[in-house]
A and B are shown apart, each in its own frame.
Chain A
Amino acid sequence: MKEYKGKIRLIIKHYPYRYRDYARIAAEASLAARDQGKFWEMHDLMLERSPRLDRESLISYARELGLDMKKFTASIDGKKNDKEIERDLQLALKMDLYNTPTFFINGRKVVGNRPYESFKRILDEELARAGK
Protein backbone atom coordinates (compact mmCIF):
# COMPACT_ATOMS: atom_id res chain seq x y z
CA MET A 1 0.00 0.00 0.00
CA LYS A 2 3.09 2.22 0.22
CA GLU A 3 2.71 3.42 -3.34
CA TYR A 4 -0.60 5.07 -2.39
CA LYS A 5 0.90 7.04 0.48
CA GLY A 6 -0.93 10.30 1.08
CA LYS A 7 -3.78 9.23 -1.19
CA ILE A 8 -5.62 6.97 1.21
CA ARG A 9 -7.44 7.62 4.40
CA LEU A 10 -8.00 4.40 6.34
CA ILE A 11 -10.65 4.11 9.02
CA ILE A 12 -11.09 1.12 11.28
CA LYS A 13 -14.41 -0.15 12.59
CA HIS A 14 -14.75 -3.14 14.87
CA TYR A 15 -16.68 -6.24 13.95
CA PRO A 16 -15.66 -8.93 16.44
CA TYR A 17 -17.30 -12.28 15.67
CA ARG A 18 -19.11 -13.43 18.76
CA TYR A 19 -17.87 -16.99 18.62
CA ARG A 20 -14.24 -16.01 18.76
CA ASP A 21 -13.04 -15.83 22.34
CA TYR A 22 -10.51 -13.03 21.94
CA ALA A 23 -12.04 -10.95 19.18
CA ARG A 24 -13.79 -8.61 21.56
CA ILE A 25 -10.97 -8.18 24.08
CA ALA A 26 -8.60 -7.54 21.17
CA ALA A 27 -10.88 -4.74 20.00
CA GLU A 28 -10.78 -3.34 23.56
CA ALA A 29 -6.99 -3.56 23.53
CA SER A 30 -6.72 -1.62 20.28
CA LEU A 31 -8.86 1.19 21.70
CA ALA A 32 -7.02 1.15 25.02
CA ALA A 33 -3.85 1.70 22.98
CA ARG A 34 -5.65 4.38 20.95
CA ASP A 35 -6.36 6.24 24.20
CA GLN A 36 -2.60 6.38 24.68
CA GLY A 37 -1.93 7.41 21.08
CA LYS A 38 -0.72 4.00 19.85
CA PHE A 39 -3.70 2.53 18.01
CA TRP A 40 -1.87 1.71 14.79
CA GLU A 41 1.13 0.23 16.55
CA MET A 42 -1.19 -2.08 18.48
CA HIS A 43 -3.23 -2.80 15.35
CA ASP A 44 -0.14 -3.93 13.45
CA LEU A 45 1.23 -5.96 16.34
CA MET A 46 -2.05 -7.79 16.95
CA LEU A 47 -2.50 -8.68 13.27
CA GLU A 48 1.06 -9.98 13.23
CA ARG A 49 0.59 -12.09 16.37
CA SER A 50 -3.01 -13.18 15.79
CA PRO A 51 -4.53 -15.53 16.95
CA ARG A 52 -2.48 -15.16 20.19
CA LEU A 53 -4.82 -12.54 21.58
CA ASP A 54 -5.62 -13.78 25.06
CA ARG A 55 -5.49 -11.25 27.92
CA GLU A 56 -1.93 -12.10 28.96
CA SER A 57 -0.63 -11.81 25.41
CA LEU A 58 -2.37 -8.47 24.88
CA ILE A 59 -0.80 -7.15 28.09
CA SER A 60 2.63 -8.26 26.90
CA TYR A 61 2.10 -6.44 23.56
CA ALA A 62 1.14 -3.28 25.46
CA ARG A 63 4.32 -3.57 27.47
CA GLU A 64 6.29 -4.04 24.26
CA LEU A 65 4.83 -0.76 22.98
CA GLY A 66 5.74 1.03 26.19
CA LEU A 67 2.17 1.83 27.22
CA ASP A 68 1.11 2.87 30.70
CA MET A 69 0.32 -0.61 31.95
CA LYS A 70 -1.96 0.37 34.79
CA LYS A 71 -4.20 2.41 32.52
CA PHE A 72 -4.13 -0.23 29.77
CA THR A 73 -5.06 -3.11 32.07
CA ALA A 74 -7.83 -1.12 33.73
CA SER A 75 -9.17 -0.19 30.31
CA ILE A 76 -9.41 -3.73 28.92
CA ASP A 77 -10.60 -5.29 32.18
CA GLY A 78 -13.20 -2.56 32.73
CA LYS A 79 -14.32 -2.70 29.06
CA LYS A 80 -13.86 1.05 28.93
CA ASN A 81 -14.58 1.28 25.19
CA ASP A 82 -17.32 -1.31 25.05
CA LYS A 83 -19.90 1.20 23.84
CA GLU A 84 -17.77 2.19 20.87
CA ILE A 85 -17.22 -1.45 19.87
CA GLU A 86 -20.91 -2.21 20.28
CA ARG A 87 -21.77 0.80 18.12
CA ASP A 88 -19.52 -0.49 15.29
CA LEU A 89 -20.86 -4.01 15.69
CA GLN A 90 -24.48 -2.86 15.45
CA LEU A 91 -23.60 -0.85 12.36
CA ALA A 92 -22.02 -3.93 10.77
CA LEU A 93 -25.10 -6.02 11.54
CA LYS A 94 -27.39 -3.32 10.25
CA MET A 95 -25.41 -3.26 7.00
CA ASP A 96 -25.74 -7.06 6.68
CA LEU A 97 -21.99 -7.59 6.76
CA TYR A 98 -21.31 -11.28 7.02
CA ASN A 99 -17.56 -11.48 6.91
CA THR A 100 -14.37 -9.87 8.13
CA PRO A 101 -12.52 -8.09 6.88
CA THR A 102 -15.02 -6.08 4.85
CA PHE A 103 -13.77 -2.92 3.18
CA PHE A 104 -15.63 0.05 1.81
CA ILE A 105 -13.41 1.78 -0.72
CA ASN A 106 -15.08 5.09 -1.48
CA GLY A 107 -18.27 3.24 -0.61
CA ARG A 108 -17.58 0.21 -2.83
CA LYS A 109 -17.92 -2.96 -0.82
CA VAL A 110 -15.06 -5.44 -0.97
CA VAL A 111 -15.33 -8.61 1.08
CA GLY A 112 -12.50 -10.75 2.36
CA ASN A 113 -8.73 -10.80 2.30
CA ARG A 114 -7.97 -10.46 -1.37
CA PRO A 115 -4.78 -10.53 -3.38
CA TYR A 116 -3.04 -7.18 -3.59
CA GLU A 117 -3.67 -6.91 -7.35
CA SER A 118 -7.39 -7.06 -6.75
CA PHE A 119 -7.22 -4.09 -4.37
CA LYS A 120 -4.85 -2.27 -6.67
CA ARG A 121 -7.32 -2.42 -9.54
CA ILE A 122 -10.04 -0.81 -7.43
CA LEU A 123 -7.69 1.81 -5.96
CA ASP A 124 -6.46 2.77 -9.42
CA GLU A 125 -10.03 3.04 -10.70
CA GLU A 126 -10.93 5.28 -7.78
CA LEU A 127 -7.86 7.46 -8.27
CA ALA A 128 -8.68 7.82 -11.95
CA ARG A 129 -12.22 8.71 -11.06
CA ALA A 130 -11.14 11.31 -8.50
CA GLY A 131 -8.69 12.79 -11.01
CA LYS A 132 -11.47 13.72 -13.43
Chain B
Amino acid sequence: MSKGLIIALLLLSSLAFSAEPRYDVPIGDSPSMGPENAPITIIEFIDFQ
Protein backbone atom coordinates (compact mmCIF):
# COMPACT_ATOMS: atom_id res chain seq x y z
CA MET B 1 0.00 0.00 0.00
CA SER B 2 2.62 2.52 1.07
CA LYS B 3 4.79 1.41 -1.83
CA GLY B 4 1.93 2.12 -4.22
CA LEU B 5 1.57 5.53 -2.68
CA ILE B 6 5.23 6.33 -3.17
CA ILE B 7 5.04 5.30 -6.82
CA ALA B 8 1.96 7.45 -7.27
CA LEU B 9 3.77 10.40 -5.68
CA LEU B 10 6.78 9.89 -7.93
CA LEU B 11 4.50 9.81 -10.94
CA LEU B 12 2.84 13.01 -9.78
CA SER B 13 6.14 14.80 -9.28
CA SER B 14 7.43 13.78 -12.69
CA LEU B 15 4.17 15.04 -14.14
CA ALA B 16 4.75 18.35 -12.40
CA PHE B 17 8.16 18.52 -14.04
CA SER B 18 6.92 17.73 -17.50
CA ALA B 19 4.09 20.24 -17.13
CA GLU B 20 6.62 23.05 -16.95
CA PRO B 21 7.59 24.24 -20.40
CA ARG B 22 11.23 23.93 -21.35
CA TYR B 23 12.45 26.12 -24.14
CA ASP B 24 15.03 25.12 -26.67
CA VAL B 25 17.31 28.12 -27.11
CA PRO B 26 20.00 27.83 -29.80
CA ILE B 27 23.40 28.48 -28.25
CA GLY B 28 25.42 29.15 -31.42
CA ASP B 29 28.77 30.81 -30.85
CA SER B 30 27.58 33.18 -28.13
CA PRO B 31 30.04 34.00 -25.33
CA SER B 32 30.09 31.26 -22.70
CA MET B 33 31.88 30.20 -19.56
CA GLY B 34 31.95 26.93 -17.67
CA PRO B 35 32.38 23.34 -18.86
CA GLU B 36 30.49 22.34 -21.98
CA ASN B 37 29.17 19.17 -20.31
CA ALA B 38 27.98 20.98 -17.15
CA PRO B 39 24.72 19.58 -15.72
CA ILE B 40 23.20 23.05 -15.80
CA THR B 41 23.16 25.34 -18.80
CA ILE B 42 22.01 28.91 -18.24
CA ILE B 43 21.32 31.16 -21.18
CA GLU B 44 20.97 34.76 -20.15
CA PHE B 45 19.46 37.48 -22.30
CA ILE B 46 21.15 40.61 -21.08
CA ASP B 47 20.89 44.37 -21.36
CA PHE B 48 23.90 46.00 -19.78
CA GLN B 49 22.18 49.33 -19.23
Identify the A interface with B (CB < 8 A). Answer: 4, 6-17, 20-23, 26-27, 30-31, 34, 39-40, 43, 46-47, 50-51, 53, 87-88, 91-92, 95, 97, 100-109, 123, 126-127, 129-131
| B1 close to A (CB within 8 Å) | no
Task: State whether B32 touches A11 (Cβ < 8 A).
Answer: yes
| B7 close to A (CB within 8 Å) | no
For B33, the chain A residues whose CB sits under 8 A away are 9-10, 40
8 Å CB contact of B46 from A6, A7, A15, A87: A15
Task: State whether A10 touches B45 (Cβ < 8 A).
Answer: no
With both chains docked as a complex, state the minimum distance between the C-beta of B14 and any C-beta of chain A, in angstroms: 10
Task: State whether A16 touches B49 (Cβ < 8 A).
Answer: yes
For B17, the chain A residues whose CB sits under 8 A away are 129
- In this complex, the interface size class of chain B, counting residues with CB under 8 Å from chain A, is 20 to 34
For B45, the chain A residues whose CB sits under 8 A away are 13-15, 88, 92, 97, 100-103
- Distance A109 CA – B43 CA, assembled complex (angstroms): 9
With both chains docked as a complex, state the minimum distance between the C-beta of B44 and any C-beta of chain A, in angstroms: 5
List, sorted by A's number, 15 A–B pairs whose CB atoms are closer than 8 Å: A8-B41, A9-B34, A10-B32, A10-B42, A13-B44, A23-B47, A23-B49, A46-B48, A47-B48, A100-B45, A102-B45, A104-B23, A104-B41, A105-B41, A127-B40
With both chains docked as a complex, state the minimum distance between the C-beta of B31 and any C-beta of chain A, in angstroms: 5
Task: State whether A6 touches B44 (Cβ < 8 A).
Answer: no
Task: State whether A27 touches B48 (Cβ < 8 A).
Answer: yes
